[in-house]
Structure formats: C-alpha cells, structure tokens
Amino acid sequence: MTIEELEQIAKTARQEREKYDFEVNVCMDLACASQGAGELKDALVKAAEASGKKVCVRRTGCMGPCSHGPLVRVDPEETLYHHVKQADAAAIVGHLGNQPVAPLQCDLHEHFDKQVRVVLENAGYIDPEKIEDYIARDGYKALLTVLMEMTPGGVVHRVTESGLRGRGGGGYPTGLKWSTVAKAKGDLKYVVCNGDEGDPGAFMDRSVMEGDPHRVIEGMAIAAYAVGASKGFIYVRAEYPVAVSRLTTALREARRHGLLGNNISNTPFNFDVEIRLGAGAFVCGEETALIASIEGKRGTPKPRPPYPASSGLWGKPTLINNVETYANIAPIVRNGGKWFFNMGSERSKGTKVFALTGKIANTGLVEVPMGIKLREIIEVIGGGVPEGHKFKAVQTGGPSGGCIPEEMLDIGVSYDALLKMGSIMGSGGMIVMDDTSCMVNVARFFIEFCMTESCGKCIPCRAGTAQMYTLLTRISTGTGTMDDLAMLEELCATVKETSLCGLGQTAPNPVLSTLKYFRNEYLEHILHKRCRAGVCTMEGIGTELANEVTA
C-alpha cells in the first residue's frame, strides 16, 4: 500500500458517498443498540428503499449523549434526532429534504459546542467495520507519511513536542516513555495497547475500540515504528465482545490492505498485532500484571523497577500505552506536535474524553480540552443535575480517584489540579452525585470494589482493604465508633504508602477524599446514627451501644 493507493481508496469512498443525497447515521453503540437501534436501522433501510430517495443508511459508533438514545443524525444538514423508535423510520425518511421531524429533533448545541473532538473525531461519522470509511477521513495517512518521510527519532520528537501525557490515568509523558523504549537495547521489542478498562462508570476506551478501531491500530503501528518494535498486543477485557469483534475485523482489513504485516508500504518495517483477552481481573490494567497475563501467567503485579520499558513482555523492552493515548497519535502526526501543544492547559495538553454518568441530564461520552472547568463539563455540557435535586460531588478516576465537592468545581481539569484535590484524572470516568447519595456509602462501594479486585499478593491491599470495608460497613450501619474512624484513617495511610502496585496505593483515595470534604457525614453516621441522604439503614438505633453513644 502506497500513499497514492491510499488516496485512491479515499477518493473512491468519497465518490461513493456523493452518489447519495442524504446520509442517515444510526448510532449503534451499546447504549443505543440496547434500546433497539438495530431494528431501527433495518426499518430505516426499508423506508429508504421504499421512498425512492437517494439515501445511505449507515451504522456508526457512539455519538456521545447516550441518555438521548437511540440517536440518528441526518447529514448533510446535521439534524440530530433523539429517542428514535422503529416506528419513526418512515417519518424521518419522509422528511428528508424538507423540514426536520420536529418532535424528535434534539437541541444539544451547548453540549456539542463546548467540546473539541480529536480522539472522537470519527465517532458517529464512520462505519467501524469499513476500513474505507476510516481511510476517507484521512485514516492511515499518518502511518504511511511516517514510514515514507520520518525517522523513528523524528516521530518520538513529534510526540514529545506535543506534550501528550498517558491517558490511562498516571499521566506519564508519552514522548518520554517512547524515547526510553526506543533507547532500550534489544532486537525484539513489543508494543502493547492497554484496553483493560475496568473502572466503574468508565467506557471511553470501549467506545473508541468499538467506534473507531483503526485509529488504535494506526497509533500502535506508528509507535512500533518509533520505538523499533515489530509485534503488538491489544489487551482487551473479555467483557467487551463487540470491541473484540470490531478489532478483529479491523486487523483483518488492515492486513488485507497491507497496512499490517511485512514490508509495510514497501519499507523494511514489519508490524502485526494480536488480540489478547483479559479474564475479568481489574488488576490486569496495571502494566506489570497485564504483562504477566499476556504471558499466560496469573495476573499479579511485580515491583518496579525494572520498568516494562527495559524489561517487559518475556523480558523484552515493551511500550505500554492506553487506548486513548494511541488514539491521539495519528492526529498529532498529521497536524504536528505544536497543534496539540497549543490545546489544553499549561501542563496537561490536548483533549480528554470523559464518560459522564450518574445524576446528570446528558450522560454519555464527551471530549473537552484540558483546563476546562469541571463546572462547565457538568452544568453546560452535562446539562446539570436533573430538576429537584442538588449537586453534591463528582467522582473522578474510578476506584483510584476521589470525590470533588461543589466548591472545587471552578478549578480547571488537569492531571495536577485533580491530584491536588485528592483525586486523579484516571482513565476518565466521571460520576456525578446529588443529595440522594451518601458519601460514606460511596466510599464503602469503592473500597468493596478494591477489596474484591485486589489480587491478594501484598498484605496491605489484600487484608487492608478488607479491614477498611469492615470498618466502613460498621460506620454506615450506625455501629461505628470514633475509634473505628481513627483506625480507618490509619489504615488508609498504611495501604496507600505500603501497597505494591497502583491498585492498593490508590485504593484509599475515595475514603480519604470523602473524609476531607464530607467528614460531617461520617460524624453524623457515628455520633447521631443519621444518614442525611437516607441511603444507609441504621442497625445501631435502639441498641444499648447506640443509646450510650448518642446520650
């Protein structure tokens, strides 16, 4: 495959599109599909055939505002319809070329206007199983340009220049990681894509893998060229069967077009990718555990150093990046490092995809420039907390993150700012909570998650999270004491400072942050046996102990 051939495919795909007057895009991501987007698409195809109009009905990846699903967007007018049912198909096709169907039309201008789409630029515009659709939107152009015109060092330089930081949560500078692996000695190196997204309430990586799988593969191939690797692995959790099937199709298509394999684009560069499935362990998102799992061993972390950059898969230098990190690579190569560097805040560049969930009007995927205020994400893009309730906190970073209260909402989103607030960027889950959420219960939920997902290798995480769960259960059922609270805080410190891997080291964050910002709720549970949100059932009321404490 040469650049000319690539352009020919793009041209043919565009010509194919020009045959139609209208494009009806149906979001077929899980949220929409579960509400009948599949039948809807069939109905639209039938209606289009019956109407005699030149209409192309296309399935696409996630369009973003999942709570409005099933979504249909009609191009070229860009009319967005929400909550579309099978029965509405005829009306939508019938109105093509005339006024839109008013009752279905959805006005989400504020939601979309504040967003900047880099990673999600193709989401909602391409059929994820058609490589031609991706190529028509400049797909694989970056890879072939890199192979024809750039040295590996030049690619590393461009990524370094962009200021991109790892999107998996830690925020390690991507360019630095790449240059470390590039410098590591060894004739065999590996590139690994971490698609083991496991945070409760996070689905960014799934949407990217399902909606735009070629973007991930292209990013990996560019990374492999830059660091001198010839073999790649995508580690996807088995709970994402659609992502696995889309990636499998994408890999097959890429191989068929000579974009993977030996002597890609007639250069000496060889690269191919294998998919490995995770068996449902959250800890396998930690890079050393992920490596063990790919090697076929029990997925438990190892102390670092040695880092995977020097000794990773089967002891070879290995580059591990998150799905979203790889998804940023092709646009960076195409538009230059400076372009990316100019987006975002001082030390966090570019954009970030967040999965908005919880008590918020527009749940779904959003992509915003770094540095945007949390308040804007929640109130403008997310549409705020539904009527009748009051915002209480937003939980970022999953079980490793923390809860951020209302008074901190005017701080811009960046790796450093979130860390300062006692939370982390994490992979990008954002759970909004209102006055019906009890913060003690939230902390207990996340500790329970960490307890069941701990691998059990090191003691602080294995037994510490279990003890913390016991103490939090006591507090939330009204049988806790002030001694329990003191013990809880002491355990938080030990688990945080002494655990072996990131899972244990960050497991106390939900407890620490709720203790920092919502200590009153803990005290109310302990001293007054009261849960202001009405979530916790107080067993302690009426017992001797309770009377003694409240007296």
- In the sheet that 22-27 helps form, which strands lie side by side, from edge to edge? 55-60, 22-27, 72-75, 79-81
Q: Say whether residue 466 binds another protein (CB under 8 A).
A: yes
Cβ atoms of residues 204 and 197 within 8 Å: yes
Residues whose CB is less than 8 angstroms from the CB of residue 318 and which lie 6 or more positions away in sequence, other chains included: 181, 189, 190, 191, 192, 291, 308, 309, 312
Count of residues engaged in binding another protein, rule: CB under 8 A: 32
Candidates 38-46, 265-273, 387-395, 455-463; binding stretch for another protein (CB under 8 A) = 455-463
Cβ atoms of residues 146 and 178 within 8 Å: no
Q: Annotate 383-449 with three-state secondary structure.
A: CCCCCCCCEEEEEECHHHCEEEEHHHCCCECCHHHHHHCCCCCCCCEEEEEECCCCHHHHHHHHHHH
Q: Which of 303, 387, 388, 551 binds another protein (CB under 8 A)?
A: 303
Candidates 246-254, 361-369, 498-506, 531-539; binding stretch for another protein (CB under 8 A) = 498-506
Site for another protein in 236-275 (CB under 8 A): none
Q: Say whether residue 506 binds another protein (CB under 8 A).
A: no
Report how far residue 459's alpha carbon sits from residue 323's, in angstroms, rounded to the nearest whole number: 31
Q: Which is nearer to another protein, 32 or 455 (CB)?
A: 455
Candidates 59-67, 258-266, 426-434, 452-460; binding stretch for another protein (CB under 8 A) = 452-460
DSSP assignment, residue 165?
B
Q: Which is nearer to another protein, 222 or 485 (CB)?
A: 485
Report how far residue 20's alpha carbon sits from residue 13's, in angstroms, rounded to the nearest whole number: 12
Report how far residue 154's alpha carbon sits from residue 178's, in angstroms, rounded to the nearest whole number: 12
Q: Say whether residue 490 binds another protein (CB under 8 A).
A: yes
Q: Say whether residue 500 binds another protein (CB under 8 A).
A: yes
Q: Which of 97, 456, 534, 542 binds another protein (CB under 8 A)?
A: 456
Q: Say whether residue 477 binds another protein (CB under 8 A).
A: no
Q: Which amino acid is at 431?
A: I
Q: Say whether residue 288 binds another protein (CB under 8 A).
A: no
**Strand 22-27 with 55-60, pairing:** parallel
User: For 234-297, where are the alpha helices, taking DSSP H only?
Assistant: 241-256, 287-294
Q: Which is nearer to another protein, 238 or 493 (CB)?
A: 493
Looking up tokens 């009890």 gives 438
Q: Which of 91, 277, 411, 463 binds another protein (CB under 8 A)?
A: 463
Strands (E), 95-202: 190-195
**Distance of closest approach, residue 319 Cβ to another protein, in angstroms:** 23
Candidates 55-63, 136-144, 395-403, 447-455; binding stretch for another protein (CB under 8 A) = 447-455
Q: Which is nearer to another protein, 283 or 309 (CB)?
A: 283
Report how far residue 379's alpha carbon sits from residue 372's, in angstroms, rounded to the nearest whole number: 12
Candidates 96-104, 116-124, 342-350, 449-457; binding stretch for another protein (CB under 8 A) = 449-457
Candidates 90-98, 218-226, 295-303, 399-407; binding stretch for another protein (CB under 8 A) = 295-303
Residues whose CB is less than 8 angstroms from the CB of residue 24 and which lie 6 or more positions away in sequence, other chains included: 44, 48, 55, 56, 57, 58, 72, 73, 74, 92, 93, 96
**Distance of closest approach, residue 476 Cβ to another protein, in angstroms:** 16
User: For 107-164, where are the alpha helices, taking DSSP H only?
Assistant: 109-113, 131-136, 141-149, 152-162
Q: Say whether residue 459 binds another protein (CB under 8 A).
A: yes
User: For 228-268, where are the alpha helices, taking DSSP H only?
Assistant: 241-256
Q: Say whether residue 309 binds another protein (CB under 8 A).
A: no
Q: Say whether residue 473 binds another protein (CB under 8 A).
A: no
Q: Which of 67, 470, 481, 543 binds another protein (CB under 8 A)?
A: 470
Q: Which is nearer to another protein, 345 or 470 (CB)?
A: 470
Cβ atoms of residues 152 and 182 within 8 Å: yes
Q: Which is nearer to another protein, 243 or 447 (CB)?
A: 447
Provide the angle, in degrees to the nearest 10, between the axes of the packed helices 241-256 and 213-227: 60
Candidates 137-145, 237-245, 497-505, 510-518; binding stretch for another protein (CB under 8 A) = 497-505
Q: Say whether residue 293 binds another protein (CB under 8 A).
A: no
Q: Say whether residue 453 binds another protein (CB under 8 A).
A: yes
Q: Say whether residue 487 binds another protein (CB under 8 A).
A: yes
CA 217 to chain centroid = 16
Q: Which of 230, 270, 481, 498 binds another protein (CB under 8 A)?
A: 498
Q: Which amino acid is at 91?
A: A
Q: Which is nearer to another protein, 227 or 281 (CB)?
A: 281
**Distance of closest approach, residue 459 Cβ to another protein, in angstroms:** 6
Q: Say whether residue 475 binds another protein (CB under 8 A).
A: no
What does each C-alpha distance from 270 to 91, 101, 195 come to in angstroms?
Answer: 51, 51, 23
Q: Say whether residue 454 binds another protein (CB under 8 A).
A: yes
What does each C-alpha distance from 460 to 13, 286, 424, 452, 495 come to in angstroms?
Answer: 56, 17, 21, 14, 5
Site map for another protein, 399-438, x if CB under 8 A? Answer: ----------------------------------------
Q: Say whether residue 281 binds another protein (CB under 8 A).
A: yes
**Distance of closest approach, residue 479 Cβ to another protein, in angstroms:** 12
Report how far residue 399's alpha carbon sits from residue 402's, in angstroms, rounded to the nearest whole number: 8
**Distance of closest approach, residue 239 Cβ to another protein, in angstroms:** 16
Q: Which amino acid is at 68?
A: H
Q: Which is nearer to another protein, 425 or 488 (CB)?
A: 488
Q: Which residues bind another protein (CB under 8 A)?
A: 281, 283, 298, 302-303, 305, 451-460, 462-467, 470, 487, 490-491, 493-494, 497-500
